[in-house]
Amino acid sequence: MKNNKKDVYVNITTNQIEAELNREKAKRRNKSTVKSTIAILIVAAAATILVATLLLPVMQISGNSMNPTLQENDIVFAVKTNNLDYGDVCGFYYSNKILIKRVIAKPLDTVDIDGGGNVYINGKLLDEPYIDKKSFGDCDIKLPYQVPEGMYFVMGDNRSTSIDSRSTEIGCVSQDEIIGKVFFTVWPPADFGTIK
């Protein structure tokens, strides 16, 4: 038996070849665009994480110790700084948590608090327009109290409920524990703006 082979000729036009080449080029362009887009998104995400971690940490408020200035679940920005001043709100690490309090006294200052909750720094009454009600609160330190070198004395704005440097449980905060100065509320929208 003889095998008959027939030659098959395909008649392809120049237009068909060009169309197929254009389709292949388009596929390569699309793949390249997708790869570039993914690379850009990865770089942007990494940059955002670095900025949020190193320069502008984002924190969510937990608890009511900073009422009325900050409410539970508010989302705030902080800026990394070694330059904290009286009245600045700062975030710091404490026992695997982040706490938010206000700087009341700097290193080597003397803090005294009377029974009515009035705070004195180096013998001068502290003006505190950010609190609604003064309170002696949970205080088990010996007053007057001298802030140790390299430490900050911090208190919450809601003095009756805040556990802060008045308590030996938390005590003063060292420079190394401070995340940064909390300066801006981003959530909720009604509270959007700088923190006073």
Is pLDDT larger for residue 105 or for residue 57?
105
CATH of domain 81-179: 2.10.109.10
Q: Is the pLDDT of residue 195 over 90?
A: no
Q: Give the active site residues.
A: 65, 101
Average of per-residue pLDDT values in the chain: 81
What does the pLDDT look like over 10-36, one tens digit per residue?
A: 667 777 777 777 888 888 888 777 777
Phi (first) and psi of residue 146, to 5 degrees: -95, 125
The pLDDT score that the predictor gives to residue 104 is 95
The pLDDT score that the predictor gives to residue 155 is 92
Q: Is the pLDDT of residue 171 over 80?
A: yes
Domain positions in the chain are 12-55, 81-179
Radius of gyration in angstroms for the set of CA atoms belonging to the chain, rounded to a whole number: 31
Peptide bond into 148 cis (omega under 30): no
